[in-house]
């Protein structure tokens, strides 16, 4: 199953920018280096998977200096059930730009 989300904030610059629209695959296999969507209390975040720990996935921002960035340095590892899905593509509005995929 696929869903889509829109990026807000600068924590994933330069790979993802505010306003980027992402295609997310629910239930996809997760590996270090993947970009995922996850739930934290009161928010949904876009982060890069860094490593697996005994508590779950350690997620980090690509831009650690972004104002207001929140990642595993702030809240610890994320249990697997809080991972919504893996980002498999990025697109902009069809009429303006067509389709581009997230390179990794």
Domains of the chain: 2-100 (2.10.109.10)
**What was the pLDDT predicted at 86?**
97
pLDDT > 70? residue 4: yes
**What was the pLDDT predicted at 81?**
97
- pLDDT band for 92, please (50, 70, 90 cuts): low
pLDDT > 90? residue 32: yes
pLDDT tens readout for residues 34-90: 999 999 999 999 999 999 999 999 999 999 999 999 999 999 999 999 999 999 988
What's the sign of the alpha-carbon dihedral 93, 67, 49, 13?
Answer: positive
pTM for this entry:
0.87
Rg (CA), the chain: 13
**What was the pLDDT predicted at 100?**
44
Q: In Å, how far are 48, 58, 66, 79 from 53, measured between CA atoms?
A: 15, 7, 25, 10
**What was the pLDDT predicted at 8?**
94
Decide if 26 contacts 39 (C-beta within 8 A): no
């Amino acid at each position: 199953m696929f869903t889509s989300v829109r990026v807000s904030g600068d924590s994933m610059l330069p790979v993802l920018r505010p306003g980027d629209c992402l295609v997310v695959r629910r239930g996809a296999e997760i590996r270090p280096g993947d970009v995922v969507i996850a739930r934290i209390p009161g928010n949904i975040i876009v982060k890069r998977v860094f490593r697996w720990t005994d508590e779950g996935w350690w997620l980090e921002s690509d831009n650690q200096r972004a104002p207001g960035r929140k990642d595993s340095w702030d809240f610890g590892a994320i249990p697997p059930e809080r991972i919504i899905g893996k980002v498999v593509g990025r697109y902009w509005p069809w009429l303006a730009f067509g389709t581009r995929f997230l390179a990794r």
